Structure formats: structure tokens, C-alpha cells
């Protein structure tokens, strides 16, 4: 159960000028050396990374030379780190990964759901086709795990089992990158049946700062982090999808800021010195909306407010992302403004 004592009021909704509801959360901002640059709430809180951990899950495959081994393009690597929307363009890229790795649809053990993109889901329905594992938002990640197993001549069966070499390599990479002992990482099973990791927000933020090139890492790991960061930044359309926050933030900022959200109100961000005025060599952010943010309003608004307070995003960029926040109007069915939503935190330095 979430330790609500670790979380402070972070995003409020009002109606007619009167408070209506309140979200709580915690935020950690860390540089690549592990120094805490800013925070809010209890940064020792250890929620599950959920899909925010996908770049970490791709790391051992990339570090082992998987990109060169299969001749993957940057957009294909980006899809292995994605929560994709199931668009035709994304499925074409997925098909390329699977063809190069000699994989088949039946190998994917992520389960099935309709495309997250409404237009793609409707087009599938109009064709009379049922969704299959390729349409699952995690199928890119699973194709990367399978490709890694095949490259290392490990069995494809059971690739999601915690004891499988793929998952052991991922656990070790997450632990090392985020400076947590493997035994201190709580494990759960994600919506796609892969293992997922609960680690302190401060350590998750460190992992993302290192993904952006910070810290003293082995050359092979630094190179792998750079490959992942640059692939995701260059191909934000693969990471999320049309109109989704991660994709829009990376598009608007020209890939300067890496963004990867996760289920239940988790969000991670990373950027290099040029995005923060030349201060820290790299910065990573991890935060959690404690109640899971079912409506999806708090997480993007808090992310933008974090970037605004850290002076990592321009006024023009914020204007282009105004549909996500930081402040938003609450409209009713007649499009009348009946309330407001806004972040209510100040980062401590």
C-alpha cells in the first residue's frame, strides 16, 4: 500500500473558486553525481517505476551490442523504450525489429489490448480485426527483451520469469544505474507481465540523470545510455503517440528534454546542461502522484511546473504545451469554464 505520509499536496482542483479535490505527490531532482538539487515531499518513497523504467529495461540489451548486432535504427531502439499507441507507423517499426531478430507475434507474452490511439483502434474495428499482442503498448519493450535473449542464445520461453537471464540482467542494470542494492528493490508484475521495480524517487532520478550522460559510468554503459537517450529524443513519435504528453514535450523541446511517463501517476524526465543553463552536467527528475492520477491531469501539469521552476523550459515552449498545464480550465459538457486545476508546490533547494 502507498505510504501516503510520504506525499504532500501537489495539485489542486477548484470549482467556482472553492476547493474540490487534491492530489498528493513527491518529487526528486538529482544530478549525475547523485547530488540532490531540489525536492518536494519524501524522496525516499519507493513507488513502482512502471513504464517509466522502460529505458532502463533496454539498457543491458544495448550495452551488450544489440543495436549493432541486429542493425537496429534509432527509431527501432526508441520503440523498445516506448509505451506506444499502436499506430500504423509504430507497428511498421515493430515489424522491422521482429523481422531483424527473427521473432514472431506468438513470441510476445505481453498480452492484448486495443491500440491506445483512438483513430487506430477505430480503423482496426472498421476492418473487422481484433487486436493482437503487437498492439499492446509494451510490445516494443518485449521485442527488445526477446531479441536480447536470442542474441545471447538464451531460451525465449520464460523470458518474463524473474529468474530468466534477461530479467536478471535487467535487475542488475537497474540496481547499478540507480545505485540501489538488488535485494533492496521490491519487485512486482507489470500490466504486460514483465517484472517491475519499486525504488526510491531519489535513486530513480539519479538513473535518469545518468541516462542523460551524467556521472562516472563504465564506457560501455555511458555509450549505451547515450544511444537510448538520443534515440528516444530523436524519435518522440515512437515513445508515446499522437497528442500524448511524452511525445509532445519532446517534440516541442526539440528532444532536449527526455520524458517517460508510467502508469499510476509516475513520471521521469532527463536533460543535459544546455537545457538548464549550463549548471549540472545532467539532471534527472522522478515524481509520483500518490493516488495514481486516474484522469491524467496532474502528472503532465506537475511535470511542466517542475521544468518551469527549474528554468529548464521557455515561456514559448510552455505556451505550446498549454493544453497539458501547468494550469488548466475545467470545462463542463457545454464547454463552460466551471473550475481550475493547478500545481500547488514549490521545490525546495
CA 348 to each of CA 5, 26, 37, 43: distance values in angstroms, whole numbers, following the listed order: 18, 11, 9, 12
pLDDT tens track, the chain, 349 positions? 445 568 999 999 999 999 999 999 999 999 999 999 999 999 999 999 999 999 999 999 999 999 999 999 999 999 999 999 999 999 999 999 999 999 999 999 999 999 999 999 999 999 999 999 999 999 999 999 999 999 999 999 999 999 999 999 999 999 999 999 999 999 999 999 999 999 999 999 999 999 998 888 999 999 999 999 999 999 999 999 999 999 999 999 999 999 999 999 999 999 986 644 445 579 999 999 999 999 999 999 999 999 999 999 999 999 999 999 999 999 999 999 999 999 999 999 8
**Rg of the chain taking only CA atoms, in angstroms:** 19
Distance CA 228, CA 59 (A): 8
What predicted TM-score, i.e. pTM, was given to this entire model? Answer: 0.94
Domain extent listing, the chain: 4-343
60 and 148 Cβ atoms separated by less than 8 Å: yes
- Taking every pair of Cα atoms in the chain, the longest distance, rounded to a whole number of angstroms, is 62
The residue count for the chain: 349
Amino acid at each position: 500500500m502507498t505510504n501516503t505520509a510520504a506525499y504532500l499536496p501537489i495539485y489542486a482542483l477548484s470549482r467556482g473558486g472553492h476547493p474540490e479535490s487534491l492530489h498528493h505527490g513527491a518529487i526528486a531532482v538529482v544530478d549525475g553525481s547523485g547530488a540532490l538539487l531540489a525536492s518536494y515531499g519524501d524522496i525516499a518513497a519507493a513507488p513502482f517505476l512502471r513504464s517509466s523504467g522502460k529505458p532502463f529495461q533496454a539498457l543491458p540489451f544495448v550495452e551488450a551490442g544489440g543495436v549493432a548486432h541486429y542493425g537496429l535504427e534509432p527509431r527501432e531502439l526508441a520503440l523498445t523504450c516506448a509505451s506506444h499507441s499502436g499506430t500504423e507507423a509504430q507497428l511498421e517499426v515493430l515489424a522491422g525489429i521482429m523481422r531483424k531478430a527473427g521473432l514472431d507475434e506468438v513470441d510476445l507474452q505481453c498480452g492484448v489490448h486495443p491500440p491506445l490511439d483512438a483513430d487506430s483502434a477505430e480503423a482496426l474495428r472498421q476492418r473487422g480485426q481484433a487486436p493482437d499482442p503487437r498492439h499492446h503498448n509494451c510490445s516494443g519493450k518485449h521485442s527488445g527483451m526477446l531479441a536480447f535473449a536470442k542474441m545471447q542464445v538464451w531460451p525465449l520461453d520464460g523470458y518474463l520469469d524473474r529468474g530468466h537471464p534477461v530479467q536478471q540482467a535487467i535487475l542488475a542494470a537497474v540496481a547499478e544505474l540507480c545505485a540501489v542494492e538488488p535485494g533492496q528493490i521490491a519487485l512486482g508484475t507489470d500490466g504486460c507481465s514483465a517484472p517491475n521495480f519499486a525504488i526510491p524517487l531519489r535513486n530513480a532520478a539519479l538513473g535518469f540523470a545518468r541516462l542523460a550522460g551524467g556521472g562516472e559510468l563504465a564506457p560501455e554503459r555511458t555509450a549505451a545510455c547515450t544511444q537510448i537517450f538520443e534515440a528516444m529524443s530523436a524519435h518522440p513519435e515512437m515513445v508515446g503517440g499522437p497528442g500524448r504528453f511524452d511525445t509532445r514535450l519532446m517534440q516541442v523541446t526539440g528532444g532536449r528534454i527526455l520524458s517517460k511517463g508510467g502508469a499510476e501517476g509516475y513520471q521521469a524526465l532527463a536533460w543535459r546542461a544546455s537545457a538548464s543553463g549550463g549548471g549540472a552536467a545532467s539532471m534527472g527528475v522522478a515524481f509520483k502522484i500518490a493516488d495514481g492520477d486516474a484522469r491524467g491531469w496532474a502528472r503532465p501539469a506537475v511535470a511542466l511546473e517542475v521544468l518551469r521552476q527549474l528554468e529548464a523550459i521557455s515561456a514559448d515552449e510552455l505556451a505550446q504545451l498549454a493544453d497539458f498545464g501547468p494550469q488548466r480550465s475545467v470545462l463542463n459538457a457545454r464547454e463552460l469554464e466551471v473550475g481550475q486545476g493547478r500545481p500547488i508546490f514549490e521545490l525546495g533547494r
